[in-house]
Amino acid sequence: MIAPIHDLLLLLVILTNFWVLGTTRLSATVRATAIQGLLLGLLPVALHPGWTAHTIGLAVGTIVVKAIVLPAFLLWATREAAVRREVEPLVGFSASLMLGAVAVALAFAIATRLALPDVPTRLLVPVALATVMVGLLVLTTRSKALSQVVGYLILENGIYVFGLSQAERVPFLVEVGVLLDIFVGVFIMGIVVFHINREFDSLDSARLTELKD
Amino acid sequence: MSLSSVVMYLLVCALAPLLPGIATRTKSLLTGRRGSPVWQLYADLAKLFRKGAVYSRTTTLVFRAAPVVLIATSLLAAGLLPLDGRSALLAFPGDLVGFAGLLALGRFALVLAGLDTGSSFEGMGASREVMVATFAEPALFLGFVVLALATGRMSLEEMLGVPLASVWSGSAPSLVLAAASFFMVLLAETSRVPVDDPATHLELTMIHEVMILDHSGPDLGLILLAGSLKLALFGTLVTSALVPRGGMAPFSSGLVLIAGLVVIAVGVGMVESVMARLRMNRLPQFLVAASALAGLAVILELQRP
């Protein structure tokens, strides 16, 4: 038998992580997170094939927020701020790709030691951990504020994947609340990005250390 | 070794020069030109083998030996692959290292020949070629590790042959990742866009072309022939990882391989018409990405219960 569909989705999530790590164009990283959001939206349906209102609602909510609204907003912010590329990341692109591969290996090593009750597939926890680590990597090593927002989104995606292992136990309202939080968070970040750009004519967050009264 | 493997070996060696032609033709059609005929390389080879060779007085035996070493190693390496899907001409445990080593030896001879001309221009090409090889080889080996883990064998004949067919469906995701990584290595090893541009004659961007600039006549013919053979070899790796042919009859298996090689040549042409050459300092990133894909596949294989 060919690998089940949810394993393929999880694999594609890792590949989108690599894509974000390896590309310089900001619009491409935003598009990668949009695709990741879509994959995450499909995951609960693939993992729990019961078609309950809970999983369907979770899937639709995730796709609308993570694959459509947030990427569209971030693309708007990229256009507004007229930044195209991540020019000088703290860690180079080849090095961050290698670190990403190390993160995946580490995630798999850690996941085998975690004792969790009835995880639906053995790929779920390692992919969640790897995505969190990649998000952290992007968040800390990229200098453009927009890339950092993307990193935050990926970090949150990892936490979402981890939450899926217990999706049947988490009340629907909590999930919706989390989605709303992210939405508001990214919205505020977008406005901050916009203001940084207007104030400094650049999105380089390193410039923020020069703030004076 | 079986009759079908000998027939396939001769067939692949005879058809290999078609592949660069197919890639070039795809590129011309996609960019709205007519392009040279698919069998252009055969015509070029026929022309080059009729010509005499010109040797610079600064060159030594190293320069003259390089094309012969290159073609010999390429032909030997082809003998290690199970071209009919079952058996190779030559197989022993650990011959995957031999495969990579033979290809590396051929490249080493060519690099030495480039340096032997004494021209700084060719030396530059040689150093770039070695840089590309340095980054391509880890990806190739990681891909081999995936195949070895999936099948539990250490010989290319078995890693790509019958044992692979029986385990293929169980480790399909990692094998597809390995095939993708092999394809990226193929683009680098055969000096194709986005790593190198076979059509360029601008010295600042050339890698492989500049290294063989001083070879002429039959020598250049041998180098071109070996280049097309290399495309066929890596194409065989990609095809075998994607379509397990161990269970097929020799005839249909051979047909699948040739169809796969044609598809890969078309794919190379398509990549060339939609992508630009990468800047020299972005090259390592492309090949590190290939290694990362293969590394992910290795991790998946290690995790397979």
Tens of pLDDT, residues A169-206: 667 777 777 787 888 788 788 777 777 777 777 777 77
Q: What is the 3-state secondary structure (H, E, C) of chain B?
A: CCHHHHHHHHHHHHHCCHHHHHHHHHHHHHCCCCCCCCCHHHHHHHHHHHCCCCCCCCCCHHHHHHHHHHHHHHHHHHHHCCCCCCCCCCCCCCHHHHHHHHHHHHHHHHHHHHHHCCCHHHHHHHHHHHHHHHHHHHHHHHHHHHHHHHHCCCCHHHHCCHHHHHHHHHHHHHHHHHHHHHHHHHHHHCCCCCCCCCCCCCCCCCCHHHHCCCCCHHHHHHHHHHHHHHHHHHHHHHHHHHCCCCCCCHHHHHHHHHHHHHHHHHHHHHHHHHCCCCCHHHHHHHHHHHHHHHHHHHHHHHHCC
What pTM was estimated for this model as a whole?
A: 0.90
- Per residue in B262-271, pLDDT (tens digit) is 999 999 999 9
| CB of B141 closer than 8 Å to CB of B158 | no
pLDDT for position A74: 87
Considering only the beta carbons, identify the residue of B292, B303, B305 that sits closest to A97: B292
Q: Where are the alpha helices (DSSP H) in A82-171?
A: 93-111, 124-141, 145-164
What average pLDDT does the segment B204-208 reach? 81
Residue A3 contacts B where some CB pair is shorter than 8 Å: yes
Least confident of A200-209, B142-151, B191-200: A200-209
Name the minimum distance, in Å, from the CA of B298 to any CA of chain A: 9
Q: ipTM more than 0.85?
A: no
pLDDT for position A186: 81
Name the minimum distance, in Å, from the CA of B170 to any CA of chain A: 6
Higher pLDDT, B76 or B2: B76
Residue A1 contacts B where some CB pair is shorter than 8 Å: yes
As given in the structure block, the two tokens for residue B7 are 């027939």
Q: How far apart, in whole angstroms, are the C-alpha atoms of residue A59 and residue B120? A: 61
Residue A1 scores a pLDDT above 50: no
pLDDT bracket for residue A130 (50, 70, 90):
very high
Q: How far apart, in whole angstroms, are the C-alpha atoms of residue A29 and residue A31? A: 5
pLDDT bracket for residue A209 (50, 70, 90):
confident
Residues of chain A numbered 21-80 and touching chain B (CB < 8 Å): 22
Residues in chain A with CB shorter than 8 Å from the CB of B177 are 11
Considering only the beta carbons, identify the residue of B170, B284, B302 that sits closest to A94: B284
pLDDT for position B106: 96
Least confident of A80-89, B38-47, B138-147: A80-89
Contacts of B139 (CB under 8 A, 6+ apart): B181, B184, B185, B287, B290, B291, B293, B294
Record: contact B285-A97, CB cut-off 8 A: yes
Record: contact A3-B296, CB cut-off 8 A: no
pLDDT for position B117: 92
Contacts of A196 (CB under 8 A, 6+ apart): A145, A202, A203, A205, A207, A208
Residue B98 scores a pLDDT above 80: yes
Name the minimum distance, in Å, from the CA of B48 to any CA of chain A: 41
Residue B198 scores a pLDDT above 60: yes
Triad B164, B191, B263: Cα angle to 5°: 50
Question: Which residue on chain A is closest to B171 by alpha carbon?
Answer: A3
Residue B72 scores a pLDDT above 90: yes
Element (H, E) at A31: helix A26-47
What average pLDDT does the segment A138-144 reach? 88
Mutate: best of B300, B301, B302, B304, partner A, most A CBs <10 A:
B300
Record: contact B292-A3, CB cut-off 8 A: no
Residue B18 scores a pLDDT above 90: yes
Name the minimum distance, in Å, from the CA of B42 to any CA of chain A: 40
pLDDT bracket for residue A36 (50, 70, 90):
very high
In degrees rounded to 5, what are phi and psi of residue B183? -65, -40
Q: At which residue do the structure tokens 């900001």 appear?
A: A26
Q: What percent of chain B has pLDDT over 90?
A: 73
Q: At which residue do the structure tokens 């999930």 appear?
A: A175
pLDDT for position A122: 80
pLDDT bracket for residue A111 (50, 70, 90):
confident
| CB of B81 closer than 8 Å to CB of B7 | no
Q: At which residue do the structure tokens 């080593």 appear?
A: B101
What average pLDDT does the segment B115-133 reach? 91
Q: Best-predicted range by mean pLDDT among A23-32, B17-26, B270-279?
A: B17-26
Record: contact A11-B299, CB cut-off 8 A: no
Residue B47 scores a pLDDT above 80: yes
As given in the structure block, the two tokens for residue B260 are 């796969």
pLDDT for position B227: 95
Question: Which residue on chain B is closest to A130 by alpha carbon?
Answer: B296
Considering only the beta carbons, identify the residue of B172, B282, B299 that sits closest to A104: B299
pLDDT for position A204: 75
Q: What percent of chain A has pLDDT over 90?
A: 25
Q: Which candidate, A105, A103, A97, A88, places its Cα nearest to that of A147?
A: A88
Least confident of A136-145, B37-46, B197-206, B209-218: B197-206
Residue A100 contacts B where some CB pair is shorter than 8 Å: yes
pLDDT for position B113: 95
List % helix, strand, coil for chain A (3-state, nearest 5).
75, 0, 25
| CB of A24 closer than 8 Å to CB of A139 | no
As given in the structure block, the two tokens for residue B204 are 């600042």
Residues of B near A (CB-CB distance < 8 A)? 169-170, 172-173, 177, 282, 284-285, 288-289, 291-293, 295-296, 299-300, 302-303, 305
Beta-bridge partner residues of A144: A204
Residue A149 contacts B where some CB pair is shorter than 8 Å: no
Mutate: best of B288, B291, B301, partner A, most A CBs <10 A:
B288
pLDDT for position A167: 63
pLDDT for position A55: 81
| CB of B225 closer than 8 Å to CB of B190 | no
Mean residue pLDDT across chain B: 92
pLDDT for position B305: 66
Residues in chain A with CB shorter than 8 Å from the CB of B138 are none
- Per residue in B236-262, pLDDT (tens digit) is 999 999 999 888 888 899 999 999 999
pLDDT for position A3: 60
Residues in chain B with CB shorter than 8 Å from the CB of A96 are none
